Amino acid sequence: MKQRTEKYVVTFRTTAGAMAMEAACSAAGLPGRLIPVPRSVTAGCGLCWAAPPESREVLEELVIKKRLDVDGIYAIIL
Amino acid sequence: MIYLDNAATTRTKPPAVAQAVLEALSSYGNCGRGGHQGALSAARAIYETREKIAALLGCPRADHVCFTQNSTQALNIAVCGLLGPVDHVISTDLEHNSVLRPLYRLRDAGAAVDFVPADSRGRLDYCGFERLLRPETKAIVCTHASNLTGDAVDIARVGRFAREHGLLFILDASQTAGVLPIDLAAMGIDVVCFTGHKSLMGPQGTGGLCLREGLEIRPFTVGGTGVQSYSEAQPGEYPTRLEAGTLNGHGLAGLSAALDFLSETGIARIHAHEDALARRFYKAVRDLPGVTVYGDFSAPVRAPVVTLNIGDLDSAEISDELAERFGIATRPGAHCAPRLHRALGTEEQGAVRFSWSYFNTEEETAAAAEAVRVLAREALEG
């Protein structure tokens, strides 16, 4: 298994919300990628955006600016 | 075959459409089901398609573009999800059964439904909206253009009327999305229902609704969404709220490619080409002895449709002659537009509809006009 590190994780209420996040991050050149939502965040399914913890501030600015449909924001070890 | 049945479906698609569907069929997983590349490829393509539709139809948010199989499904979702048995609804005589039947079913459940009348030439009496207004009127449901005559409705005017009176405005854009300008936000429209396989030039099995923000639509179907799986209720957020089950990702990939073509070509250019061909045909056949053309060609803006009859001959017979002798595909009969056929007095005879796409040519149009001339002359000669 891969080495676990701290990640900044953003969850969404819809798949469209996750895709909007990916598109916005890609356009802005921000780091991260979509992964299946880990059980430590929420049971169920869906996609979340996982990024290095140091990107938290710029990502939160992007979420507000683009009115992205975010469900929750977490700092977890993945 | 000269294909002039584009109001039913555009047969010729931009080549990139088939290529996109083929690539999707061999690479896509299921959108929103897993985080692997196949699932993400499908999800990305579908999201991009939402963005392109939102841009085309003036929908402020890509996540307020909800996909369905076609316009009919979209209209059922809008009518059933926004209206109830105590409401009054205003519609028009121009409507297709995709609007009429959901409204008739609503009426049978207790709602009141009135129709703005069309005259014997198929023209809408706009004063009818004011005349039919009641305190309990909740919505206007109407088409952007008649699928029978091609006559367009002034939707900006209807939208203003709806706003002035606090009414919902549900627009059936089946015949116009991709060929006439539509701006949900600017035109005061609450819901635009569209299909992907006509003027948008995408595959059959694609369509949807564009919604203004803040609209609460009860879901028509509920089920798997790939998110919020432990919630007993369908998620409340759009587009998931209206999209239970697997989407037609392969078809939407094709629609996305078609939207690229529309964007690169420009819908004004597309409409100018189609409109010129339709009007050229109209001018060639309108004065032929025995030929009756329906619709208002004095209107500056209309969908590229010309519908006619020859004498009192059965429209099915004329359409069959056109196909068998001249290799020209048209649509006879009632066109799922019973109220307008009644207004035109063509309930028994039906009518023969010719409809153009961007891929039709002047030569095809001239050949169709010549075929009508031959058939009209033969009809006169008995």
State the ipTM, two decimals. Answer: 0.86
Partner A contacted by B19 (CB < 8 A): no
Q: Which CATH architecture does the domain made up of A6-77 adopt?
A: 2-Layer Sandwich (3.30)
Q: Is B55 on the interface with A (CB under 8 A)?
A: no
User: Pairing between strand B88-92 and B65-68?
Assistant: unpaired
Measured in degrees and rounded to the nearest 5, phi and psi for residue B241 equal -50, -35
Q: How far, CA to CA in Å, does B26 sit from each of B15, B19, B38, B249?
A: 17, 11, 10, 12
Residue A53 in tokens: 């913890």
The total number of residues shown for chain A amounts to 78
Interface test with A, best of B44, B63, B230 (most A CBs within 10 A): B63
- pLDDT tens figures, B299-333: 999 999 999 999 999 999 999 999 999 999 999 99
- Report the alpha-carbon distance of residue B308 to residue B291 in Å, rounded: 7
pLDDT of residue A42: 81
Query: Which two three-digit tokens encode residue B313?
Result: 């001959």
Looking at chain B, which residue has its C-alpha nearest residue A67?
B61
- Domains annotated on chain B, with CATH: 2-10+266-381 (3.90.1150.10), 15-265 (3.40.640.10)
The tokens describing B283, both together, are: 């001018």
Q: A16-69 pLDDT, tens per residue?
A: 999 999 999 999 999 999 999 998 888 667 999 999 999 999 999 999 999 998
Look at B62 and A44 and tell me if their CB atoms are within 8 Å: no
B35 contacts chain A (CB < 8 A): yes
DSSP state of B363: H
Contact between A4 and B219 under an 8 Å Cβ cutoff? The reply is no
C-beta atoms of B35 and A17 within 8 A: no
CB B110 within 8 A of CB B85: yes
Amino acid at B211: L
Measured at the alpha carbon of residue B205, what is the angle toward residues B170 and B223, in degrees to the nearest 5? 75
Could you tell me the pLDDT band of residue B23, with boundaries at 50, 70 and 90? very high
- Interface probe, candidates B33, B227, B240, chain A, greatest A C-beta count within 10 A: B227
Q: How far apart are CA A28 and CA B265, in angstroms?
A: 28
Residue boundaries of the structural domains of chain A: 6-77
Overall average pLDDT of the B208-237 stretch: 94
Whether A77 has a pLDDT exceeding 80, the answer reads: yes
**What is the pLDDT, as a whole number, of residue A40?**
86
